[in-house]
Amino acid sequence: MTIPRFTKKISKIAGSSPGTLVHSGEGDLSAIRISMMNYDAERGVQEHAPASIAAAIELSEFPGSSWIHIEGVHDLDMMEQIGAHFDIHPLTLEDIVSVGQRPKVEDYEHYLYIVLKMLCFEERETLIGSEQLSIIIGPRTLISFQEQKGEIFEPIRERIRKGRGRIRKGGSDYLAYALVDAVVDHYFLILEKIGEKIELLENQLLDHPRPRTLQAIHGMKREMIFLRKQIWPLREVVNQLAKGEADIIQPETRVFLRDVYDHTVHILDTIESFRDILSGMIDLYLSTISNRINEVMKVLTMISTIFIPVTFIAGVYGMNFKYMPELDWKYGYAFVWGLMAGIISLIIIILKKKNWL
Amino acid sequence: MTIPRFTKKISKIAGSSPGTLVHSGEGDLSAIRISMMNYDAERGVQEHAPASIAAAIELSEFPGSSWIHIEGVHDLDMMEQIGAHFDIHPLTLEDIVSVGQRPKVEDYEHYLYIVLKMLCFEERETLIGSEQLSIIIGPRTLISFQEQKGEIFEPIRERIRKGRGRIRKGGSDYLAYALVDAVVDHYFLILEKIGEKIELLENQLLDHPRPRTLQAIHGMKREMIFLRKQIWPLREVVNQLAKGEADIIQPETRVFLRDVYDHTVHILDTIESFRDILSGMIDLYLSTISNRINEVMKVLTMISTIFIPVTFIAGVYGMNFKYMPELDWKYGYAFVWGLMAGIISLIIIILKKKNWL
Amino acid sequence: MTIPRFTKKISKIAGSSPGTLVHSGEGDLSAIRISMMNYDAERGVQEHAPASIAAAIELSEFPGSSWIHIEGVHDLDMMEQIGAHFDIHPLTLEDIVSVGQRPKVEDYEHYLYIVLKMLCFEERETLIGSEQLSIIIGPRTLISFQEQKGEIFEPIRERIRKGRGRIRKGGSDYLAYALVDAVVDHYFLILEKIGEKIELLENQLLDHPRPRTLQAIHGMKREMIFLRKQIWPLREVVNQLAKGEADIIQPETRVFLRDVYDHTVHILDTIESFRDILSGMIDLYLSTISNRINEVMKVLTMISTIFIPVTFIAGVYGMNFKYMPELDWKYGYAFVWGLMAGIISLIIIILKKKNWL
Amino acid sequence: MTIPRFTKKISKIAGSSPGTLVHSGEGDLSAIRISMMNYDAERGVQEHAPASIAAAIELSEFPGSSWIHIEGVHDLDMMEQIGAHFDIHPLTLEDIVSVGQRPKVEDYEHYLYIVLKMLCFEERETLIGSEQLSIIIGPRTLISFQEQKGEIFEPIRERIRKGRGRIRKGGSDYLAYALVDAVVDHYFLILEKIGEKIELLENQLLDHPRPRTLQAIHGMKREMIFLRKQIWPLREVVNQLAKGEADIIQPETRVFLRDVYDHTVHILDTIESFRDILSGMIDLYLSTISNRINEVMKVLTMISTIFIPVTFIAGVYGMNFKYMPELDWKYGYAFVWGLMAGIISLIIIILKKKNWL
Amino acid sequence: MTIPRFTKKISKIAGSSPGTLVHSGEGDLSAIRISMMNYDAERGVQEHAPASIAAAIELSEFPGSSWIHIEGVHDLDMMEQIGAHFDIHPLTLEDIVSVGQRPKVEDYEHYLYIVLKMLCFEERETLIGSEQLSIIIGPRTLISFQEQKGEIFEPIRERIRKGRGRIRKGGSDYLAYALVDAVVDHYFLILEKIGEKIELLENQLLDHPRPRTLQAIHGMKREMIFLRKQIWPLREVVNQLAKGEADIIQPETRVFLRDVYDHTVHILDTIESFRDILSGMIDLYLSTISNRINEVMKVLTMISTIFIPVTFIAGVYGMNFKYMPELDWKYGYAFVWGLMAGIISLIIIILKKKNWL
């Protein structure tokens, strides 16, 4: 489950016609939930939960801004209705349902299509999960597609409801900024959790390194590779939006997107820093183990160096030769003890000089 | 067989005239197979299997789009006929037959020449094979040259037959897109297989690392180097096509090529991720082995530390001195056992304190 | 405390409205200190310590240059007053109070907003601390916001008081240069301290490497990663200022900023050099430990190789067989000593040849 | 002899006047050989072997293309004559005789000066040798200077003689292309040989790694560093030629140079791949050695763990205490054997569980 | 003394006014030496050794080119006189006296300011020393400032005296080229010395690696980091000069500067190659040590494996049990020898099969 994430992609049959809709996600396929907000500065806010996409399309005839948020992208009929009504390019529809896209922005003149990755960090397994968020920004209508249910846009809804800030006046491009900003802000939370985990591992490493620690560091490093792969293209996406190449993005919104761009760069810097720190930790682990081997070796060598010679002497006087003059000496036994004590002392002195004791 | 792939190249004699046709592949030299499809939106589809290139050239007088697909590039006469009829530059012909080109696109005004690599993954030997695909895109005619027989374009033929999507209306540039897209999509399948293999290796590494695992990781890393070398230039090729510098590519087709470009970048990202993961695995392996050495060392040291001193004591009382008072003590034997037990206990306590037990 | 620094950021609730002021620092929240200097070439200098921001705003009606320096950014009311009076964009206010910004410069036509990092090096813990400095440069007024109290701008105040150099004539852009220059100059002091620490570690490493040395090197490397992350974006900031894209920066000031730019590049070069040196030190440590293991192993092997064979011989003649002819030889004992001496000599000769002795 | 190659350079006395001709090569200084070909599409080919440069200059008054090839660059008088007659800049003459230049192209309006490296691979010593080739391309005349004798241009001469391809019609710029192409094609041969050597080393590494293998890998890596340093600037040279910034290069020739450019990039890719593979091999070697240490350690530990405890028991019953009840038991001996067998079995079971047996 | 070099910088008090002259070098502060050459193509050469800068300024009223060379930069009065007479910007004066600048070129319209590093290699300590050279190029006058005395410009003086080459005609910009060229040429000498040292180390490494060798390699690597830091910016400096952005540089001089640029790139390439080679050497060292550990381990294991089992057998028959039937056998002793010989043979055969013997 850890590596296949890296290759997740469009599962249309290789060589099949582009624009063929085949859903490639593994999400909860039961029910699709549509939620809708119509609002503008004068008319206030209307919230709807249309039962079908047809109802939503009808409701989107509202003269102000209209935000259709769809949770679940496996209903291909629905996609085709949306495509037909809003004149969406088949490739866009294909990208929405095949949820393994790289973050990107595409400008189809009458609408702007943005793909983002929403991430989550499963702390227990140290695994980063990823979910595709597609945003279609029309002149008045914004449609957002999320793979699974989630609540990270709730604060934005609250802001629309309460009319805080410029969100009600801002149009669909400002709403798009708010969504992108919410996603990027969410990355910081994930980085914070990862940071805590790394600090935990670093402490473990310094206090009591174990093979498990190493495996956890290795796992974290692989997650960083995954994270970088997911977020790296985002930089370019936000940069393109902020540079104002797309007409749909109003000049007033660009200053906010520039802010998001700064955050994106900040996040990528942090990921790079984490990778560097984790690499350093693996080096540290290896050095620590080498150190321990050295310590263990020293003890072994010390014990062996002290006892092997004296054991040899004891062996000599355990021989059964008939004519061994020392055996008959009165103080032979004492002499041997003295000899052995002398040898041991000598060896200990030598070892001390070599700083092994 | 693994390294020479890296240097495979144009085997014309160094210094010989450019445009000299010498075949450099190792493919099945027996028979060349030509298949042909003439189609357009009005006239429908005609399929042919011309016996010779002359017949194919005659058939290509069709007013709509014409796709000549040639499997096998070792017939130099055929190449010269094609060159003469379609006015192909000698360098292009040379590049088609000498199958070690880097992916590239070359614009010769009246035609566009694309070189691609078709890859396959021989799972048992963990080896990536590569085959050259050359595409000549004329205003109405597309000629594709493949080194060996293969079926990856069958879905495209099916689409032409059934008239699905815009392929019949699209002209030769759209057909070229379809071919490139099929090749790139095929890369994803290879990456998926490689991903599975890497996951397998990672599990082996964590459960039961063996020298063989290491060699397999090393082999995979070398394959990644090979893969990157094969695919890296493709990015530039597709980018050039998508940017529309060549007149033969219609503006409508460019949006599809942009999509292929995204996939290419995605593939390169994934290859880089795989390389990083494999590098991490080699580090992990090395650390794991160091760990094991440490474990083994600890056991050895423990056993030695416990038994060497007491063996020495046993040796001492095995000596044959005449005057060894302890030997005559009534409880001498018990005393020695007690002494040895005491020493062993002491050592075990010390080892426990050092966390070695 | 070491890793979370990397993720410190805007702590506004993810998804909340931009421009929401939430303070994210951990500084001394007790009291905010405002100090003020009004000066120009003709009128001389007036220094004030206004009790409230309202008073400061009133004082800033001075016709010459006005520098308001605020220590402490947690008073959100104050920020809103400043925002209202000087027409500061909500995003700027948000960035000032949420003290985890990346260094950047933003041009809002009627003012220029610069974020910098002030660093300090806690030598005992080998930790680099970081503090945010925000500078708003208006046509006549410069407002600087510092998280905590500090004295690094005292020399600048002294220069204004004494009218040394061109500072009194220079306007708010020249003052901004002076502030940035003081911050960058301060980095050199930190680098010098770090350099000394690295040299200390290098000497320790060569003389007497210990696990602690390794941990200290690892710690330093992590600090270098942190430092680089903090300073890297500064290069771009100073470059933008020096290139004169902002109208508020006078052409005469640019030559001074170019000088600061050179220093910034110099600092980044030095950080890179330090990282390379530290990496080299970790490699050196690992090699040194391997060397030691080798030395210890040699001693062990030497002792074992010399004594194990002769101990075996002693063991043989310690056997209690009835019929062991050697035991009854007159010179059996002498013969065995000779044999053992011969074996030991032979082994020593072999070891000498192998360069182990 | 392996490192000094890296620093070989212009050996003019530091600080001396530019344009001072001092020969810096070590080639065969005996005799300089001049060979000459005059040809064009109408007049056919004349071959000469002029005895002196004066004779060659006279012969170059031929109305078609003229190729003067000079083997040996140590005759400074000759260089001055050439300089005077063809109006060659002193710096160019200096670069021709001081044979340690980086590949480069310089456009002096009335001529183009190209420096290339011709390489050879001395397989026995695994050393890459390098020789400088200088080409001066005038409007009608091409002069090539080679350090030593060599036959790699023979096929080009053959093509001129036989009038194959467009070489006779092509002018001096096409001839220059042919020379560059021959040099680059020759690199492929060297890469192939290196590739074979690497494969050999890889097989040795997997089958039977020895210190010698490691040293050979290290040597190959150093050669790759040297090779890269020699070839890297070539890319830029060929790119400049192909882009057609120089007027002397005809537009028709550029398409051929683009082809050479592709080959150059291909070669650099391959060198990078080789470096990566060699780095991987060193890692593999290190891991393999660690593995072996582990294996050896296991055997030692196994033997020690099995025999040390039972040897201790044998030692105990070899003690000479008067009162050792077990010694007098009838089945004492059998009991001890049983005890020892039990201990050995137990240890073996434990070792098997730990997967060491 | 090795690390502080990296942070050497402007020692003006942080925050002090720019243009404050504070000398930061450690050179010989005793005496400043001024030497002067006035020359042009018609009037010939006059050499002076003015006692004071005032005298030098007077002498510089010469109508041709004037070169003032000053050894020692610690006389701040002198600097101020120069600044006043030639209208030098305070920042330039500050940069000249604070000798820790990065190489750079600054164009102040009426003069060009160049900072370079002159290097020397103290072979015994394997340390690269660095000294700052500042050059002010006015339309007629060139002033060069060197920290310490040195003779590397003597050949240039000789060329001016003898009127060799174009130096007398060339003006101050050509003289500046000659100085830069002399400095860069001097780098080659240093690289050659370093190359020799590296080759020496490589031979030591292959023949007889010792911890000292490793430390020397580490030291060389650190010197390479230092060297790169000193020379890297030079590339940009020479490039700017050669591209002719500054008006003071005549078009004829640019072709010579292009040549210097080539040499600079060559030097940087070589430094990179050296770094790569040194890194490879550290890897090689580590592998060699691992190899040796392996060798030592094998010997230990061999000896232990052979003697431990037979020592155990000897121990068994050294036991003092009353009923040990073997002891009474007539050929018991011979049988035991046979048994032990058999065991030793078996073990040797096994070890041979494992390739350990």
pLDDT digits (tens, 9 = 90+) for E278-317: 998 988 888 888 888 888 888 888 888 889 999 898 888 8
Which pLDDT belongs to residue C98? 84
Residues A232 and A345 in one domain: no
Contacts of E300 in chain C (CB under 8 A): 297, 300-301, 304-305
Residues A33 and A181 in one domain: yes
Which pLDDT belongs to residue C14? 57
B10 touching A (Cβ < 8 Å): no
B345 touching D (Cβ < 8 Å): no
Residue B325 reports pLDDT greater than 70 = yes
Distance in Å, alpha carbon of C215 to nearest chain E alpha carbon: 19
Distance in Å, alpha carbon of E263 to nearest chain D alpha carbon: 8
A279 three-state secondary structure: helix
- Partner-chain contact D326 E324, CB within 8 Å: no
- Partner-chain contact E188 D282, CB within 8 Å: no
Burial label, D254 (beta-carbon count in 10 A; 0-12, 13-18, 19+): middle
D251 touching E (Cβ < 8 Å): no
C308 touching A (Cβ < 8 Å): yes
Single residue among D232, D261, D287 that ends a domain in this structure: D287
- Partner-chain contact D290 E290, CB within 8 Å: yes
Q: How confident is residue D72, by pLDDT bands cut at 50, 70 and 90?
A: confident
- Partner-chain contact D102 E266, CB within 8 Å: yes
Which pLDDT belongs to residue B30? 63
A196 touching C (Cβ < 8 Å): yes
Residues C283 and C303 in one domain: no
Closest CA to B236 of B104, B102, B101, B96: B104
Residues A327 and A275 in one domain: no
Each residue's pLDDT tens digit, B232-259: 899 889 998 888 778 888 888 888 898 8
E188 touching D (Cβ < 8 Å): yes
Residue E114 reports pLDDT greater than 90 = yes
The closest CB to that of D186, out of B14, B319, B336, belongs to B14
Single residue among C262, C287, C312 that ends a domain in this structure: C287
Bridge partners for B34 per DSSP: B70
Task: Sheet with E65-71: list strands edge to edge.
Answer: E44-48, E33-40, E65-71, E141-146, E127-137, E112-122, E104-107
Contacts of A155 in chain C (CB under 8 A): 13-16
Which pLDDT belongs to residue A29? 57
D186 touching B (Cβ < 8 Å): yes
Burial label, B7 (beta-carbon count in 10 A; 0-12, 13-18, 19+): buried
Residue E11 reports pLDDT greater than 50 = no
E329 touching D (Cβ < 8 Å): no
Residues C21 and C135 in one domain: yes
Each residue's pLDDT tens digit, A146-201: 987 777 898 899 888 888 778 888 889 999 999 999 999 899 889 988 998 999 99
Which pLDDT belongs to residue A74? 82
- Partner-chain contact E290 C290, CB within 8 Å: yes
Contacts of C164 in chain E (CB under 8 A): 17
Q: How confident is residue B15, by pLDDT bands cut at 50, 70 and 90?
A: low
Q: E82 or D100: whose pLDDT is higher?
A: E82
- Partner-chain contact C289 A286, CB within 8 Å: no
Cα separation, E75 vs E83, in Å, equals 13
Which pLDDT belongs to residue B11? 43
* Residue A112 DSSP code: E
C270 touching E (Cβ < 8 Å): yes
The closest CB to that of B318, out of D256, D308, D319, belongs to D319
Each residue's pLDDT tens digit, C138-153: 988 999 999 877 778 9
Of A25-29, A324-328, C236-240, give the lowest mean pLDDT range: A25-29
Q: How confident is residue D11, by pLDDT bands cut at 50, 70 and 90?
A: very low
CB-CB neighbours of A241 under 10 Å: 28
Which pLDDT belongs to residue E108? 86
Q: Is residue E303 part of a domain?
A: yes
Q: Is residue C86 part of a domain?
A: yes
Average per-residue pLDDT in chain E? 86
Q: What's the helix, strand, coil split of chain D in %, to 5?
A: 55, 15, 30
Give the distance, in angstroms, between the CA of residue B199 and the centroid of all CA atoms in the same chain. Answer: 15
- Secondary element (H or E) of residue E262: helix E251-316
Q: How confident is residue A37, by pLDDT bands cut at 50, 70 and 90?
A: very high
Residues A147 and A226 in one domain: yes
Average per-residue pLDDT in chain B? 86
Q: Is residue C343 part of a domain?
A: yes
Is the ipTM here above 0.85? no
Q: How confident is residue E66, by pLDDT bands cut at 50, 70 and 90?
A: very high
Q: What are phi and psi of B33, to 5 degrees?
A: -115, 125
Residues B39 and B142 in one domain: yes
A315 touching B (Cβ < 8 Å): yes
Single residue among C287, C313, C334 that ends a domain in this structure: C287
Q: Is residue A120 part of a domain?
A: yes
Range among A64-73, A240-249, E21-30 rated most confident: A64-73
User: In this structure, is the dihedral angle defined by the CA atoms of residues E175, E177, E180 and E181, taken in order, positive or negative?
Assistant: negative
E37 touching D (Cβ < 8 Å): no
Q: Which residue has the tokens 């801004």?
A: A65
Q: How confident is residue C357, by pLDDT bands cut at 50, 70 and 90?
A: low
Cα separation, E157 vs E161, in Å, equals 6
What is the extent of the structural domain holding B95? 4-287
What's the mean pLDDT in D26-55? 83
CATH code: domain of residue B275? 3.30.460.20
E351 touching D (Cβ < 8 Å): no
Name the percent of chain B lying above pLDDT 70: 94
Residues D165 and D201 in one domain: yes
- Partner-chain contact E226 C316, CB within 8 Å: no
E318 touching D (Cβ < 8 Å): yes
Contacts of C154 in chain E (CB under 8 A): 15
- Partner-chain contact B15 D156, CB within 8 Å: yes
Residue in B with minimal Cα distance to D300: B300
A280 touching C (Cβ < 8 Å): yes
What's the mean pLDDT in C66-71? 92
The chains in contact with chain D, meaning 3 or more Cβ pairs closer than 8 Å, are: B, E
Average per-residue pLDDT in chain D? 86
The chains in contact with chain B, meaning 3 or more Cβ pairs closer than 8 Å, are: A, D
Closest CA to D98 of D85, D120, D79: D79
Task: Sheet with C104-107: list strands edge to edge.
Answer: C44-48, C33-40, C65-71, C141-146, C127-137, C112-122, C104-107
The closest CB to that of A310, out of B153, B291, B312, belongs to B312
Each residue's pLDDT tens digit, D253-285: 888 898 899 889 989 999 999 999 999 898 888
Residues D236 and D317 in one domain: no
C286 touching A (Cβ < 8 Å): yes
Residues D276 and D308 in one domain: no
Q: Is residue C292 part of a domain?
A: no
Pick among D208, D286, D292, D301 to test the B interface (most B CBs inside 10 A): D301
Cα separation, A342 vs A348, in Å, equals 10
- Partner-chain contact B156 A15, CB within 8 Å: yes
Name the percent of chain C lying above pLDDT 90: 24
CATH code: domain of residue B341? 1.20.58.340
Contacts of B17 in chain D (CB under 8 A): 159, 164-165, 167
Task: Sheet with D65-71: list strands edge to edge.
Answer: D44-48, D33-40, D65-71, D141-146, D127-137, D112-122, D104-107
Q: Which value, to the nearest 10 degrees, does the dihedral of the CA atoms of residues C7, C9, C13, C14 take?
A: -60
- Partner-chain contact B102 D305, CB within 8 Å: no
What's the mean pLDDT in D195-200? 90
For B13, residues 6+ apart whose C-beta sits below 8 A from its C-beta are B20, B22, D155
Each residue's pLDDT tens digit, A116-132: 999 888 777 778 888 89
- Partner-chain contact A300 C300, CB within 8 Å: yes
Distance in Å, alpha carbon of E110 to nearest chain C alpha carbon: 15
- Partner-chain contact B319 A336, CB within 8 Å: yes
Contacts of C276 in chain E (CB under 8 A): 225
- Partner-chain contact E288 D15, CB within 8 Å: no
Q: How confident is residue A345, by pLDDT bands cut at 50, 70 and 90?
A: very high
Which pLDDT belongs to residue B120? 86
Q: How confident is residue C303, by pLDDT bands cut at 50, 70 and 90?
A: confident
C75 three-state secondary structure: coil
Region of A14 please: left (phi>0), alpha (psi -120 to 50) or beta.
Answer: beta
Contacts of A222 in chain B (CB under 8 A): 277, 280
Residue in E with minimal Cα distance to D5: E195
Residues E191 and E331 in one domain: no
Contacts of B205 in chain D (CB under 8 A): none
Residues 64 through 123 of chain C touching chain A, CB cutoff 8 Å? 89, 91, 95, 101-102, 104, 106
Burial label, C326 (beta-carbon count in 10 A; 0-12, 13-18, 19+): middle
Residues A194 and A236 in one domain: yes
Each residue's pLDDT tens digit, C6-48: 776 544 455 667 766 766 665 555 678 899 999 988 888 889 9
Residue A302 reports pLDDT greater than 50 = yes
Residue in A with minimal Cα distance to B326: A333
Distance in Å, alpha carbon of E278 to nearest chain C alpha carbon: 11
B263 touching D (Cβ < 8 Å): no
> What's the structural domain count of chain A?
2
Q: Is residue C293 part of a domain?
A: no
Q: E20 or B162: whose pLDDT is higher?
A: B162
Distances (CA, A) of A37 to A54, A142, B253, C16: 15, 10, 36, 17
Distance in Å, alpha carbon of D83 to nearest chain E alpha carbon: 16
